[in-house]
Amino acid sequence: MTYFLGVDGGNTKTIALVARPDGTIAGAGRGGCGDIYGQNGPDGAIAEIRRAVQAALAAAGAQEHELVAGGFSLAGADWPEDFALFEAELGRLGFGRTITVVNDALGALRAGAPGGVGVSLVCGTGIAIGARAADGRIWHGSFWLESLGAYELGRRMLRAILRAELAIEPPTALTARVLEHYGHAGVEQVLHAHTARGVPAPDVGRLARVLLDEAARGDPTAYRIATEQGRAMGDYALAAARQVGLLGTPFTLVLAGGVLRHPARLLAETLTARVREAAPDVQVVDSRFEPAVGALFLALDAAGVAIDQPLLARLAPTLPPPAFFAT
């Protein structure tokens, strides 16, 4: 039996999928942070990727030597030396006779756009933005991007309630929601929890959902923070299109990531409106598949396997449930 491997490695989780040549998903596995710039460094990131792949192989009843090709969509694949590191380590681990490594934004693009041509914007803990033209030109935002995404939404939300508590800014409904979220009686307790010595700070990114809820309900402070982020994301999506020569032509903009799946669509609507100011013919789509599927497509591409409707019809119903991919 031969198999194909697709891996999406991010800051909060790593997902691995093992598929048969006909597209059927045979196994899936999860690991932690797969970003070599993350807190556990390159060794820790490679260990988490390995953990996810080995879990997927075990679920499939497969072994490394049966992997024809591996596709890897990875946060931290930013500079040439990063690609060299990933390719050397993943090759050493035997995760495919052919190994393809791309920045995580481009795996998401391959998952959501026909042929992987267009612009992708993935909003999770942080953001990833990438673009690919039909002639093969690629660009990914990497360190060009400012801090955006769930972590930054939560950080700005905390700052807003601190300023409101000091009467620098008007009162906001965010204060009550943050107190409820953490189970604290006052804002000072929240501040202490995030700054006290010797105590791990709460995950501020989890506040993003609260902020988007309140923005949808019309809280002015929440609305301002969300729309500022949406416009900034739109600016970077346009920059990505410009870098590969797509601006001025109709192109696909793929939206992906947990933050953009929030039921309140303000963030997605704001960034889309910003893009349409300069690219009125853009086609905005929510990705049908998770980025790990895009990584799997890259492995299939490398082996010359056609990703046609019959293959997709076998792949889709065999994917893990949505909860498996959730952060």
Single-letter amino acid code for the residue at 148: L
Please state the domain extents for the chain. Answer: 3-111+289-325
Architecture of domain 3-111+289-325: 2-Layer Sandwich (3.30)
pLDDT-derived band at 11, boundaries 50, 70, 90: confident
Task: Report residue 164 as tokens.
Answer: 């409101």
Task: Tell whether the model's pLDDT for residue 80 goes beyond 80.
Answer: yes
Single-letter amino acid code for the residue at 318: T
Phi, psi of 283 (to 5 degrees): -105, 110
- In percent, the amount of the chain with pLDDT more than 90 equals 91
Residues 6+ apart with CB under 8 A from 140: 78, 103, 105, 106, 128, 129, 130, 131, 240
What gap in Å lies between CA 81 and CA 258, rounded to an integer? 29
Task: Report residue 51 as tokens.
Answer: 């953990």
pLDDT tens, residue by residue, 154-168: 999 999 999 999 999
> Rounded to two decimals, what is the model's pTM?
0.91
Mean pLDDT computed over 200-222: 94
pLDDT tens, residue by residue, 285-301: 999 899 999 999 999 99
CB 174 within 8 A of CB 223: no
Mean pLDDT computed over 20-34: 96
